[in-house]
A and B are shown apart, each in its own frame.
Chain A
Amino acid sequence: MRLAEAWRVALDALRANRLRSGLTMLGMVIGVGAVVILVALGTGTKNEVQAQVEGLGSNLLLVVPGQVSLNAAPAVSRLDQSDLDAVIRIAGDRDRVAVSLTSGENVRAGKEQVFTSLLGVLETTPKVFLRDVRAGAYLTRTDVETGRRVAVLGSSVARTLFGERDPIGQQVTIAGVRFRVIGVFAPLGQSLGVDRDNEVHVPLTTAQRLLATKRVDAFAVKAPDAETIDRLGRDIVAELHRRHPDEEFSAVTQEQILGVLGDILGVLTAVLAAIAGISLLVGGVGVSNIMLVSVRERTREIGLRMALGARPRDIGLQFLLEAVLLTTIGGLLGIAFGVGASLATAALSPVPAALTWWSIALAFGVSCAVGIVFGVVPAQRAGRLDPVVALRSE
């Protein structure tokens, strides 16, 4: 039997049982659709995170107490001003070092109020990180050295407190203390559901006084180039460890952060892919089941075809193609559904979704493979029927 003929016979058989074929395909549609959507979400998230980490600036080194890994809790900092001076000495330039003291605080202006991250920082922050001020100006070295009560607002803080009004020169109250707004950041947007524009920068010295502490939480150091970054990190960690012998410190690069985030997203994507895989498996079992029913229902037809000269492999091929047709049509519909849902998600919601050709090709390949794997047993059963027995069946 020619292959084209076998395809036609298989297609006819599917058309003869439209509802049943449709329901069987639905399993494949859902499974393949889920794979395409989940891979798109995983890829989109990864792309976004990568863009954000890279968007921080280049050749960055983040220095924090404790260890940076998936299963370590953040450590409480015992770093202070003298450690900062030491780090600046190693880095060789104050402009290469940023620092932060972070605390969650209520910020109020008139009747409006917002809970935000308060960061005590140096004036060097925009030189280390890529951070644009949209209106007004950033902190100056004098602001830091004299502990001025001035603040630079994240764009969402400014919008919440002042709406359309210009916040520059206005007063805000942080933890009961009045500050003057001198600048507003350009918006950064959301990242993994977190509003990155919900923060307020004030001079480190002012923050320390406000929070009644001497500590700093973390440093960020900008290395002159990619080659020196690892040595710089080792030197800083060694110096900090010398100064605090019973504590651990970590210096991580952007690559390492991306690695950790990649691990997290990898595990997440793997779990989701496994769930999608299960639904593909269930779809495949459904195909197998329906094909066995189909073979049983059409035993007389099989007997007749054999009597007329169909070889076992002609019969087997007919049923195998029927199974493959079921799964590939289901797979194509699933791809269409997955692509549509991914594009809609990317267009209509802040959740990132990026389609990749390999995931679509993979989904199609898996659809064909499921048809072959789950079609083989029913096809073999059909091909091995005894023509005499098959002809007599009712």
Chain B
Amino acid sequence: MTGDAAIEAIDVARTYALDGVGVPALRGVTLTVAHGEYTAVVGPSGSGKSTLMHLLGGLDQPTSGRLRIGGRDVAGLTPAEMAHLRNATIGFVFQSFHLLSRTSALDNVALPLVYRGLSARERRERAARMLERVGLSHRIGHRPNQLSGGEQQRVAIARALVTEPAVLLADEPTGNLDQATGLAVLELLEQLNTAEGVAVMLVTHDREVAARARRQITMRDGRIVSDTGSVSTGSAGDGDAEVRA
């Protein structure tokens, strides 16, 4: 990895082709995600938040601009190389949890390790440890439908962190939870951010949720309109990522 940046985006744009017409979703975003950061991305629907998350998470490739994930330029990477990069660097948490319904909490958490080629025993050991970290040791054998929403999201967080990624990307992680449960999940994320040193970036509509983050990025019309700044400096050289509030 180069320097302190877990993810580095320089003038990144993404345009979707709809019926032959190019629809810009992201119009040139420069952004650095430093290790150990805690960032919230806010903005109205259609502002490009999700597109940004997909790009930063290595699920998609930018139409133009430079994007480095875990120190690696994604330009020209094959889908298989992108998959490897995601597995090594990124953990995902989704609004709707995205757990495999017929699979136990333990095996759900162990799933990303399957694609690392680890032995079943090692996968289970690491998954069990991670479930313990999120406070679900007593739910190891439960299936998602036997768990509450908050528990399901905690399983998903354990799954995102079992690979020890540099960055955890959370798309509306509290969107499907009631306020108290949502708060508990946020506290867990904050605690893991501090304890494990994993950079957390979450997308949210909720101003209160965003307000808990040390760094807040506001998006509109495919652009960053405000960024309260990062602790560390990125190599982008843009003024908007220099100062921490």
Same complex: yes
Residue among A2, A305, A309, A313 with the highest chain B CB neighbour number at 10 A: A309
Binary B-proximity of A351-394 (CB < 8 A = 1, otherwise 0): 00000000000000000000000000000000000111001000
B27 on interface, CB distance cutoff 8 Å: no
When the two chains form their complex, are residues B116 and A307 in contact, meaning their CB atoms are under 8 A apart? no
Using A387-B59, A388-B54, A391-B59 as known contacts, say yes or no to A311 and B98 having CB atoms under 8 A apart: no
Question: Could you say which residues of chain A place their CB within 8 Å of the CB of B87?
Answer: 308-309
Using A391-B94, A391-B98 as known contacts, say yes or no to A308 and B111 having CB atoms under 8 A apart: yes
When the two chains form their complex, are residues A307 and B117 in contact, meaning their CB atoms are under 8 A apart? no
Question: Could you say which residues of chain B place their CB within 8 Å of the CB of A300?
Answer: 98
State in angstroms the CA–CA spacing of A304 and B159 once bound together: 11
Using A305-B111, A309-B112, A391-B98 as known contacts, say yes or no to A2 and B86 having CB atoms under 8 A apart: no
Question: Could you say which residues of chain B place their CB within 8 Å of the CB of A305?
Answer: 111, 115
B100 on interface, CB distance cutoff 8 Å: yes
B164 on interface, CB distance cutoff 8 Å: no
When the two chains form their complex, are residues A308 and B159 in contact, meaning their CB atoms are under 8 A apart? yes
State in angstroms the CA–CA spacing of A231 and B139 once bound together: 91
Interface-lining segment among B65-73, B76-84, B232-240: B76-84
State in angstroms the CA–CA spacing of A386 and B54 once bound together: 11
Contact of A301 among B86, B100, B116 (CB under 8 A): B100
B114 on interface, CB distance cutoff 8 Å: yes
What is the CB-to-nearest-CB distance from A20 to chain B, in angstroms, rounded to a whole number? Answer: 15
What is the CB-to-nearest-CB distance from B52 to chain A, in angstroms, rounded to a whole number? Answer: 12
Pair count A-B, CB < 8 A: 59
Using A16-B102, A391-B94, A391-B98 as known contacts, say yes or no to A307 and B59 having CB atoms under 8 A apart: yes
- Tell me the residues in window 93-116 of chain B with beta carbons closer than 8 Å to chain A beta carbons: 94, 98, 100, 102, 111-112, 114-116
B57 on interface, CB distance cutoff 8 Å: yes
What is the CB-to-nearest-CB distance from A383 to chain B, in angstroms, rounded to a whole number? Answer: 8
Residue among B59, B84, B112 with the highest chain A CB neighbour number at 10 A: B59
When the two chains form their complex, are residues B115 and A308 in contact, meaning their CB atoms are under 8 A apart? yes
Q: Give 3 closest A-B pairs by Cβ, nearest first.
A: A309-B87, A309-B115, A311-B80
- A residues contacting B by CB (< 8 A) are 1-2, 5, 12, 16, 300-301, 304-314, 386-388, 391
Query: Could you pull out 16 A-B pairs where Cβ atoms are within 8 angstroms?
Result: A2-B114, A12-B102, A301-B100, A306-B59, A307-B86, A308-B111, A309-B84, A309-B86, A309-B88, A311-B83, A311-B84, A313-B80, A314-B115, A387-B60, A388-B54, A391-B59
